[in-house]
């Protein structure tokens, strides 16, 4: 899978090369009604979908911009035109993340966002 538009912020997923992770939507053209909801549902920074004005169908333009594990557009599509690999694929990828990688990211997030710390019993 190649993607020349991949922003550097999406190139690595928890220490792993995003290009080695096969998670992205697939549009079934025969089911797509061209409503455009998936185009606007996907965040502006990711912009996974383009749109073919002639065919009036959405097109997966930048698959590697898709957030691993997200399936919002597939859930939202009323015509079930969007599919993903099974969720077990995501679980398998998560299982490959080294524990120290998660701890490193966790500590940084908490340190950058002290308001996320909950002190129970101080109510
Ligand atoms: S939401 Fe579904 S029907 Fe609408 S454009 Fe996207 S794929 Fe097509
Ligand atoms: S699953 Fe989420 S990130 Fe991926 S294309 Fe759909 S809305 Fe965008």
* Inside any domain, residue 94: yes
Residue 92, H or E segment: helix 87-95
Q: How many domains are contained in the chain?
A: 1
Q: What residues are in contact with ligand 1 under a 6 Å CB criterion?
A: 27, 32-38, 58, 77, 79, 81-82
User: Cα(123) to centroid of ligand 2, in Å?
Assistant: 38
CA–CA separation, 117 vs 19, rounded Å? Answer: 33
For the stretch 9-44, pLDDT in tens is 799 999 999 999 999 999 999 999 999 999 999 988
Residue 45 maps to which CATH number?
A: 3.30.70.20
- Give the phi and the psi of residue 83 in degrees, each rounded to 5: -125, 160
CA–CA separation, 34 vs 24, rounded Å? Answer: 19
Q: What residues are in contact with ligand 2 under a 6 Å CB criterion?
A: 25, 41-42, 46, 48, 66-67, 70-73
pTM above threshold 0.85: yes
For strands 49-52 and 57-60, give the pairing: antiparallel
* Inside any domain, residue 12: yes
Question: Residue 46 belongs to what domain range?
Answer: 8-116
For the stretch 48-80, pLDDT in tens is 999 999 999 999 999 999 999 999 999 999 999
């Amino acid at each position: 899978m190649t993607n020349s538009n991949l922003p550097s912020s999406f190139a690595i997923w928890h220490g792993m090369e995003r290009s080695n992770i096969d998670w992205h939507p697939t549009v079934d053209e025969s089911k797509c009604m061209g409503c455009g909801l998936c185009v606007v549902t996907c965040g502006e920074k990711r912009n996974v979908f383009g749109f073919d004005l002639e065919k009036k169908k959405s097109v997966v333009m930048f698959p590697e911009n898709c957030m691993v594990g997200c399936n919002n557009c597939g859930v939202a599509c009323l015509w079930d035109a969007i599919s993903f690999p099974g969720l077990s694929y995501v679980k398998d990828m998560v299982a490959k993340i080294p524990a120290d990688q998660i701890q490193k990211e966790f500590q940084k997030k908490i340190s950058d966002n002290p308001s996320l710390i909950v002190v129970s019993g101080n109510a």
